[in-house]
């Protein structure tokens, strides 16, 4: 009986101990959380902030959040860079005070001038969707560690905060302004016109696929077209040189009276255009756009992209050479001097024709050669410029024929003879080529294709000592 009483007493003591521990633990967690909340400079929830005003000397930026995102209200009305504004909110709402520099119920005793808060370096004013506001003044003086002195609203204390406040207050309007050259949704674009240093072409969207306006039968790589469109639209604006219609003199200075690069993007509702040129004198790229009309300075590295836009780079270089590797069970290879025949039986390749004497067949090298054919891409298209190359020269006497186990044709590539193509002053050797996928004749770069590599599937036997 005494043992049972002792056991019950022990259980009660243990339960009380556990209860006290968890109570103290929860109290400690709550105190830490309250301390962190009290250390926050801006206590508004990030997603509730819908208004920001930044006043620095005579300059004032006003940002307002609406249903479609952030806009700039002052010093001009324009779309804002949502990502940059949200980054600002993210950074400053995470900021915590480092220390209290001075506190006094008498504001005069704070001696705000010692901290540069009588004439602040900048003032942030935040508002949330509940109608509450929070004003943060940043002193024009810093402490010996480079930290900022700040004051919240009209509180009777001066706080020490990170240098981030000073840095954020010093950012120019371009930080918060929309920096995409084209602002409309890319999904609405249904026509593209390009004139560059290299080419002039027009694309249109038909049944949600991009095609050449004059040659709709030519297959385009849809990913490449979308990538080009995205690079055009998201070209980063470094500076708004002039808002509105610039003068003829200003356009002449930036060499934009008759710009060598011109781009038009059309939707059902609007047309947008941009003229682009490089200023070697200023080592910069400038653009004149409409909707809105602005004279812009772009990232100088973009000139290579804009200047070299060309239709050929958008063409599909793989579909005419595609086949399913798993369907291939027979390979016939022929060039001017050699014929090889390979067959796959029970999952293993073997040579049935053309193996030279004193050689060993390497199934591994055959698979490599087959994979190489599978991964070939068209080097140059000739269909739009065949007058430069004599189509009658194509004979295609060299060939690779791939068949299934039931002898059905999987793929066939014919090539030959050689031709030379000169591009940008450099002449290279190619083969005429064509596949059974299409009658289109194209060129394969001889140095990259290595179509004779099938001979490497046979290795000379090592001499027996």
| DSSP-based three-state secondary structure for 263 | strand
pLDDT score recorded for residue 461: 80
Enter the tokens of residue 45.
């929830």
Contact 430, 448 (CB under 8 A): no
So where are the chain's domains?
46-176, 186-314, 319-460
Measure the CA–CA gap between 134 and 145, rounded to whole angstroms: 26
Q: Among candidates 207, 419, 197, which has minimal Cα distance to 310? A: 197
Give just the sign of the alpha carbon dihedral 198, 204, 207, 208: positive
Check: pTM over 0.85? Answer yes or no.
Answer: no
Selecting from 2.60.40, 3.30.420, 1.10.287, 2.40.128, what CATH number does the domain 186-314 have?
2.60.40
pLDDT string in tens for the chain (465-residue length)? 555 566 666 666 666 666 655 555 455 544 444 455 567 899 999 999 999 999 998 999 999 999 989 999 999 999 999 999 999 999 999 999 999 999 988 888 889 999 999 999 999 999 999 989 999 999 999 998 999 999 999 999 999 999 999 999 999 999 999 999 998 899 999 999 999 999 999 999 999 999 999 999 899 999 999 999 999 999 999 999 999 999 999 999 999 999 999 999 999 999 999 999 999 888 899 999 998 899 999 988 999 999 999 999 999 999 999 999 999 999 999 988 889 999 999 999 999 998 888 899 999 999 999 999 999 999 999 876 644 555 557 788 899 999 999 999 999 999 988 889 888 789 999 999 999 998 888 999 988 777 667 778 888 887 655
pLDDT score recorded for residue 146: 92
SS3 assignment for 327-374: HCCEEEEECCCCEEEEEEECCEEEEEECCCCCEEECHHHHHHHHHHHH
């Amino acid at each position: 009986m005494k043992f049972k009483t002792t056991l019950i007493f022990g259980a009660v003591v243990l339960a009380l101990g556990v209860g006290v521990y968890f109570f103290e633990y929860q109290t400690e967690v709550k105190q830490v959380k309250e301390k962190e909340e009290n250390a926050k400079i801006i206590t508004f929830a990030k997603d509730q902030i819908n208004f920001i005003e930044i006043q620095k000397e005579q300059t004032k930026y006003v940002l307002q959040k609406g249903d479609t995102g952030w806009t700039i209200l002052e010093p001009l009305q324009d779309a804002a860079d949502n990502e940059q504004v949200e980054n600002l909110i993210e950074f400053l709402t995470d900021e915590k005070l480092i220390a209290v520099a001075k506190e006094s119920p008498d504001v005069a005793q704070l001696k705000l001038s010692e901290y540069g808060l009588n004439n602040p370096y900048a003032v942030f004013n935040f508002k949330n969707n509940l109608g509450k506001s929070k004003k943060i003044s940043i002193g024009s003086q810093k402490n010996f560690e480079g930290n900022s002195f700040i004051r919240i609203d009209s509180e009777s204390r001066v706080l020490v905060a990170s240098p981030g406040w000073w840095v954020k207050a010093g950012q120019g309007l371009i930080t918060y302004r929309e920096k995409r050259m084209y602002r409309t949704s890319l999904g609405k674009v249904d026509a593209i016109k390009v004139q560059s240093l290299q080419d002039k072409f027009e694309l249109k969207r038909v049944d949600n696929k991009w095609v050449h306006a004059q040659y709709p039968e030519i297959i385009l790589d849809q990913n490449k077209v979308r990538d080009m469109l995205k690079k055009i639209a998201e070209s980063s604006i470094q500076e708004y040189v002039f808002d509105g219609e610039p003068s003829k003199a200003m356009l002449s200075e930036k060499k934009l009276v008759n710009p060598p690069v011109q781009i038009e993007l059309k939707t059902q509702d609007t047309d947008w255009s941009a003229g682009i040129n490089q200023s070697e004198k200023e080592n910069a790229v400038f653009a004149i756009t409409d909707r809105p009309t602005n004279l812009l300075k772009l990232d100088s590295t973009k000139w290579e992209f804009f200047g070299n836009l060309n239709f050929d780079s958008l063409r599909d270089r793989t579909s005419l050479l595609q086949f399913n590797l798993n369907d291939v069970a027979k390979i016939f290879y022929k060039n001017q001097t050699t014929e090889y025949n390979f067959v796959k039986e029970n999952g293993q390749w073997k040579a049935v024709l053309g193996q030279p004497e004193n050689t060993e067949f390497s199934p591994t090298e055959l698979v490599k050669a087959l994979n190489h054919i599978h991964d070939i891409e068209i080097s140059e298209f000739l269909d739009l410029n065949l007058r430069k190359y004599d189509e009658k020269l194509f004979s295609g006497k060299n060939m690779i024929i791939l068949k299934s186990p039931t002898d059905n044709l999987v793929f066939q590539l014919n090539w030959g003879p050689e031709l030379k193509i000169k591009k940008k002053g450099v002449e290279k050797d190619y083969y005429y080529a064509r596949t059974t996928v299409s009658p289109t004749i194209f060129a394969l770069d001889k140095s990259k294709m290595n179509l004779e590599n099938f001979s490497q599937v046979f290795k000379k036997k090592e001499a027996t000592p």
